[in-house]
Amino acid sequence: MSEPIETIEGWYALHDFRRVDWTRWQAWEMSRRQEALAELSDILGQYQSVAPDDGSFALYSIFGHKADLLFVHFRPDPHTLGDLEIRLDKSLIGPILTRPYSYFSVVELSRYLARGISEDQIHTTLKRRLEPAIPDRDYICFYPMNKRRQGSDNWYMTTRDERRELMKNHGIVGHKYHDDVIQIITGSQGLDDWEWGVTLFADSPLPIKKLIYEMRFDEASARFADFGPFYVGPRLSREALISRLS
């Protein structure tokens, strides 16, 4: 059996994608829509008012047909994530905001990052990465991924040292873009259909495109990575969403 690498976990994450049923929404009377929007504004205000030590939240508009909106939540307790999505589901506008996709995971770091750090100090030293504030960047890109398990390209049958070297080289490519793209990796083995969720933040879609393209040529990706759908879009304020729906 190949030796697994231990991981360190932080906050739980929920990527809650929503689609607006415009036909149904526009059929509502104006007074009903206004009441629903007032409630939605209150809900978004509650989401945004989370204290930095208690979690993080951001709202995005998603390009294309896959979804219209993305609510991103990070929280210490998974029960809280369930309460947040149910709060929206049970609101007046809940039936209008259908859910084409969602992703549940937990912030994950490799034990490599904790080398030389005592067990008692790990969460203190790595707090910013384990309990991330959502970066103040204009765009988000989210995609799920797996490590391949096929024939000679079986990630889980490589040795620990081989995986370490492959990921080291993978990280060198990523580091070239560290000023332009911020990355949060969440683990989802046993929690969702894929093994990891990757969330990228940047001020333009182009650095994200260039980073992903260059990483395609890295062996860790070229041989061992399978990618799910990509969701991309700009950050959206509460006021902008209410205006869009008005």
User: Any residues with CB less than 8 A from the CB of 152 and at least 6 apart, and which?
Assistant: none
Please state which of the ranges 1-5, 19-23, 144-148, 236-240 shows the lowest mean pLDDT. 1-5
Indicate whether 169 pLDDT > 80.
no
Q: What is the pLDDT of residue 114?
A: 66
What's the confidence (pLDDT) of residue 90? 97
Q: Which domains does the chain have, with CATH numbers?
A: 7-245 (3.30.70.1030)
The secondary structure of the chain in percent helix, strand, coil, rounded to multiples of 5, reads 40, 30, 30
For 53, list phi and psi in degrees, rounded to 5. -85, -5
* Residue type present at position 51: A
What pLDDT sits at residue 42? 98
Please identify which of the residues 12, 60, 139, 143 carries the catalytic annotation.
143
Average pLDDT, the chain: 93
Cβ distance 8 to 114 under 8 Å?
Answer: yes
Question: What does the block give as tokens for 154?
Answer: 């079986």
> What pLDDT does residue 96 have?
98
Q: What is the pLDDT of residue 65?
A: 97
d(C-alpha 84, C-alpha 104), whole Å = 13
Question: How far apart, in whole angstroms, are the C-alpha atoms of residue 61 and residue 17?
Answer: 10
| pTM, to two decimals | 0.94
Mean pLDDT confidence for 132-137: 97
* pLDDT in the model for residue 111: 76
| Run of H or E including 88 | helix 78-89
pLDDT over 80 at 115, yes or no: no
DSSP letter, residue 3: P
143 tagged catalytic: yes
